[in-house]
Structure 1
Amino acid sequence: MKLTLTLALAFTAAATAAPTRPAITAVSHLAVYSADMAKSDAFYTAKLGAVKGADPENPAGVRYYFNPRQFVEVLPLPAGTPEKLRMAHAAYITADAEAMRAYLKANRIKVPSKLTTGKDGSKWFEVADPENNTVQFIEQPKTLPDVPVNPLSGHIIHVGMITHDQALMDKFYRGLLGFRGYWAGGMHPGHNTWISQQVPDGRDWMEYMLVEGKEKTGIPADMPQATAGVLNHFALGVGNMEKTVTLLAGGERISEKSDGPKIGADGKWQFNMYDPDGTRAEFMEFHAVIKPCCTPFTAPDPEN
């Protein structure tokens, strides 16, 4: 009788144990809105060299692949979208989407009642982070698309987004999801406004682009769309910036608006181009070439 009771209690405890967080291994994609899909197509294919593909998440959208696992998703700008908003969501690869959904639900995050499954077999769901940004967790399909090597870059190493309250966001990204610090800096010494944290089970990262003002979420009212596009961005890792810019210039592929190349505050070479709606595509070398400003790196760099 005692043994039976002990086993029953053990079974009950196991059944009610809090779910554990599955692995979050990499950036999957950034989804952006486009006011002119044809112009966006020219930018992502002809200038960035991405491979165009159908969008299993949205039949009206297009995926632009940089490798079989990572892409930029371009969606037609919906009617009624706030004038300056061009970022739809940021997405991260998880080993088990259903386990991630259960984990977040157990931690009192509002989640959908079930996963969505795409035509390619991928599974995903979306939640809102503390500042109401849409965050997607995607379990990739068993069969990935055939994507040839991109001579410019085959790796999205980070995504960045406008952020108002670092402490509040840290509770979600670092506390609940397990993201870990990578580097922090800014334009002015002693005032860090670019806060980077790597995914917990990989080396890609997401970057808070801290802004000040009365707003608690979204794009500040007095911020131009061009500035919002600088902050809500994605970055492509490159091994050698000189070769990258030479390839772009030699092929007449530099966008109408661009800046750099330059060494950023983190000590890495970078070069920026902008899609037709102002979203920044940042080319960045994987490793710093000089000592970084502001703080040291606290985690290993991504690799090619």
Structure 2
Amino acid sequence: MRKNSLLGALLFLAGTVLMQAAPPRPKITGIAYVRFYTTDRAGAQHLYGDGLGLTLRHEKGMDVYLVGTSQRIEMDAKAGVSTDQPMLEEIGFETSDPVALEQYLRSRGVTHFTKIPDGFLLADRTTPRIAFVKHRDNPVHDTSREVSHQIIHAGFTVKDRAQEDPLFLSVLGFRPYWIGGRAGNATDPDWVSLQTPDAHEWIEYMLHPSPHDNARQRGSAFHVSLGVVEMNAAIAKLKANGWSDPKGAEMKPQAGLDGKYQYNLWDPDSSRIELMEFVPYTKPCCSQFTQANPSPGDR
């Protein structure tokens, strides 16, 4: 009996030490970049550079479009890529300390990492890959033609929400933001939005994908969203930059089920670039927002 009591005490103490030794999670402060594959660099420049007014730089063998003071849209012209696959290659999140974040993730059972400059990738995740990097400011550049100065969310297809939530919610600390569905309720949602732990930018699960989706449908799901204050002003700036709808359609705001005005653009490989107002103009469908909305003052 005494031996059992002693063993129990030792196990309790060991567990207590391990709990105390578990490192805290460093801050995750939003989206640093999104990276798309491209098969048409000139066509991408026409949208991102000419239409959206983003400054182009060449880094790491890629075309990099600067968004505001510290975010980027990267275009990877990798050979052999086709629109038969999702073109959203990678989402990079900012963290205050990549080394400490990796240590934290190891303590939570995440063990496979790939080193990259300024951070790491979660090695066992693809479509898109998930990276964590240290914050860095963009070089000083002309922002006067930018239709938007801020990436506010990135979306991607999720086949099984139960497989994603443990990582994003339980381990990384993302926070529920909004849930919605085409049926008008949140019980069987088509979209689940989760805000980053220490900022107002978010990811969007695009649920219920079809194996028969075409390139346009895949590109709609695997997308990036740029925040704007007022949609009519954003569209006017697109026009002033020389952009017109490729099909000749009228350029006007569209009402989203989340109560926010939006406007969709498509790059040459059918990836969707969604302009979205920071705050809703009306009550959202399906559920209320459970976190503060982003604002142009966030960056």
Asked whether the equivalents of residues 112 and 122 of structure 2 are also in contact (C-alpha less than 8 Å), the reply is yes
| 1:120 equivalent in structure 2 | none
| 1:232 equivalent in structure 2 | 222
| 1:124 equivalent in structure 2 | 119
Asked whether the equivalents of residues 232 and 252 of structure 2 are also in contact (C-alpha less than 8 Å), the reply is no
SS at match of 2:143: coil
> Given the alignment of the two structures, is residue 162 of structure 1 paired with residue 162 of structure 2, yes or no?
no
| 2:202 equivalent in structure 1 | 205
| 1:75 equivalent in structure 2 | 76
Residues 286, 82 of structure 1: CA spacing in aligned structure 2 closer, same or farther, 3 A cutoff?
closer
Distance across 2 between alignment mates of 1:175 and 1:36: 39
* Residue type at the aligned position of 1:287: V
Q: Once the two structures are aligned, what percentage of the paired residues are identical?
A: 31
| 1:267 equivalent in structure 2 | 259
Q: TM-score when scaled to structure 1?
A: 0.84
Residues 110, 271 of structure 1: CA spacing in aligned structure 2 closer, same or farther, 3 A cutoff?
same
| 1:149 equivalent in structure 2 | 143
Q: 1:1-304 maps to which residues of 2 (within 5 A)?
A: 13=17, 17-55=21-59, 59-79=60-80, 83-112=84-113, 115-117=115-117, 123-128=118-123, 133-141=128-136, 144-150=138-144, 151-190=146-185, 191-212=188-209, 220-256=210-246, 260-304=252-296
| 1:216 equivalent in structure 2 | none
Asked whether the equivalents of residues 91 and 137 of structure 1 are also in contact (C-alpha less than 8 Å), the reply is yes
Residues 107, 14 of structure 1: CA spacing in aligned structure 2 closer, same or farther, 3 A cutoff?
closer
* Residue type at the aligned position of 1:44: Y
Distance across 1 between alignment mates of 2:104 and 2:257: 36
* Residue type at the aligned position of 2:103: A
Q: How many residues align?
A: 278
Structure 2 runs not aligned, ≥5 long: 1-12
Asked whether the equivalents of residues 267 and 290 of structure 1 are also in contact (C-alpha less than 8 Å), the reply is yes
* Residue type at the aligned position of 1:116: I
Q: Which moved more, 1:123-132 or 1:92-101?
A: 123-132
Distance across 2 between alignment mates of 1:112 and 1:124: 10
Residues 77, 225 of structure 1: CA spacing in aligned structure 2 closer, same or farther, 3 A cutoff?
farther
Structure 1 runs not aligned, ≥5 long: 1-8, 118-122, 213-219
CA RMSD of aligned residues (A): 2.5
Residues 131, 251 of structure 1: CA spacing in aligned structure 2 closer, same or farther, 3 A cutoff?
closer
How far off is 1:26 after superposition?
0.8
